[in-house]
Amino acid sequence: MSARVNWRSVPEVGTMLGLRLVAATLRLFGRGAAAALLWLVCWYFFAFSGTVRRASVELFTRLSAPRQVHRHLWTFARVAADRLLFLTGATRGLTVHLHGHEHIMALAASKRGGLLLGAHLGSFEAMRSLAAQYDVPLLVVADFRNARRINALLERFSPELRVRLLELDPEAPTGLLAAKDAIERGELVAVLADRATHRGARDVTVPFLGGTARFPAGAHVLAALLQCPVFFVCALFEAPGTYEVHCVPLSERVELPRADRAGALQREVERYARVLEDFTRRSPLNWFNFFPFWVDS
C-alpha cells in the first residue's frame, strides 16, 4: 500500500512566470498557440512530477483503460487556460452544450435557492460563467489555499460577474452563514465535494471506481442544514473546444435524522460518488485529482 499524500501537500503546478506566459500567449495568439505551448510544458511535468504521473496511471489502471498520461495532463492544462476565456467572456471558438440546465432555470423562476455539488472534474469556470450569463447569482464556497497564485492571476482578467468567491475556513462558521443567507435569497451555492479533509474526521469512505475513497461529509451536512434542492454539476471538456455542462438532481432535500445520522450521511455521499463515477468513466481525461485518491492504493 502506498503512503497517503494529502492533496494540499501537492504543490501548485507551475510558476507565476509560466502562468503569465501562457496567459499572454492565449491573449495574443489564441487557443491554438497556447495549446501548443502547453503540450510542451506537459512533457516536462510528465518527466519530472512523479506524484502527478502516478496518480494519472492509477486512474487509467482502475478504469482498465490505456494509459494516456501526457494527454491527461494536457487536457488539464487546456481547461486551466480556458478559465481565462470563460472569466473574461472571450469565449469565441468555444462551444458549450447544456444538459439538465432546465433544473437551474426552474429554481430561478421559482426564486428558490439550490446547492450545486461539483468536483475537480472538467471546468468549474464554464459552469460559473453560465450562471452569470443566465443572470443567476452564484456563491462559490471552497478551499482556495492550494491555488492562490492561479486565482490571483484569474482575478486580474475576471469581469464583473454575478459570481462571488468565499474561501472556506474550517475553523469558522463564515461559510455556513453566507451560504444560508444566499439560499434564503433564492441564489445558488456551489461547493466542490470530492476532496477529503486533511484530518479526515468528517470524511466518509465509500466505493469508487472499483476501490474505496474518502469524500468530505461537509457538503452533505451543509445540504441538510440548508434544506434546499441539491444537484451534481460538471462541465466536461472535449477537444478542441467543446464543453458539455451537466446538471443532475441528487436530492430534493437532504435529511439526516438523529436515529440514523451516520447511515443517512453514508447514503448521501454514496449517491454523489456514484454520479461522479459515472461522469469520470465517460470522460476520464477530465479527472483532475492528481494525488493518491484511493484509500486502498
pTM of this structure: 0.88
**Residues 6 or more apart whose Cβ sits within 8 Å of residue 33:** 25, 26
At 16, the amino acid letter reads M
Q: What is the per-residue pLDDT across 32-45, written as a single tens digit (0 to 9) for each?
A: 999 999 999 999 99
Asked whether the beta carbons of 178 and 166 are under 8 A apart, the reply is yes
Asked whether the beta carbons of 136 and 108 are under 8 A apart, the reply is yes
Q: What is the per-residue pLDDT across 110-144, written as a single tens digit (0 to 9) for each?
A: 889 999 999 999 998 887 777 777 778 888 876 65
* Residue 243 pLDDT grade (very low, low, confident, very high; cuts 50, 70, 90): very high
Q: What is the per-residue pLDDT across 155-182, written as a single tens digit (0 to 9) for each?
A: 565 545 545 666 665 445 666 788 889 8
Higher-pLDDT residue of 125, 99 = 99
Give me 284's grid cell. 476520464
Helices (H), 141-260: 148-157, 174-184, 218-226
* Residue 196 pLDDT grade (very low, low, confident, very high; cuts 50, 70, 90): confident
Q: Which range scores top for mean pLDDT: 20-24, 104-108, 162-166, 205-209?
A: 205-209
Residue 239: φ, ψ to 5°: -60, 145
